[in-house]
Amino acid sequence: MKKKPKIYKLKKLNLEIKRKIISLIKEENPESIISKLSQNNIFKYLDIVSNSNKLDLLVVNYKSNLVGYAIVAKQPSYLFSEFYLLKFKIFLNLLINFNFLTILNIIISIIKIDMIFINKIDKKLIKNNYNLNLVAIKKKFQSRGIGN
């Protein structure tokens, strides 16, 4: 691989970039909560991420193609607090599409059942560190050093 990939932090998203990121989400993260949402709600989600000071949207370009993305939160709690205004739309979207398991996963995460067996030191470490929430590289570009 001669040409190196470029990683950009996006703050402004146009429709074309949003569609490319949605395509990546649906293809590479099909089990994620965000992939279960309508296109309109994913657009709103991406707008919140790109406009936030607490979240970062990174994209990987290789030979002028968007081949990867990552959403990073400066703290895990920001994944809920930043989407406060969108939470009812997300819930309604999941309910209408009968994504009950996804709703259950959200509830487990909100009430922190998934943290029961983690010791206090590790909980503090998790709470105060960056959280790589979603990440994907297109399948045909994986294992080629592009996401490094």
User: pTM of the prediction?
Assistant: 0.77
- CA distances from residue 132 to 8, 38, 79, 146 in whole angstroms, order as listed: 16, 23, 10, 17
pLDDT tens, the chain, 148 aa long: 467 888 899 888 999 999 999 999 999 999 888 898 899 999 999 999 999 999 999 999 988 889 999 999 998 888 778 887 778 888 888 888 888 888 888 788 778 787 788 888 888 887 778 888 788 889 888 887 765 5
Query: What is the distance between the alpha carbons of residues 46 and 54, in angstroms, rounded to a whole number?
Result: 13
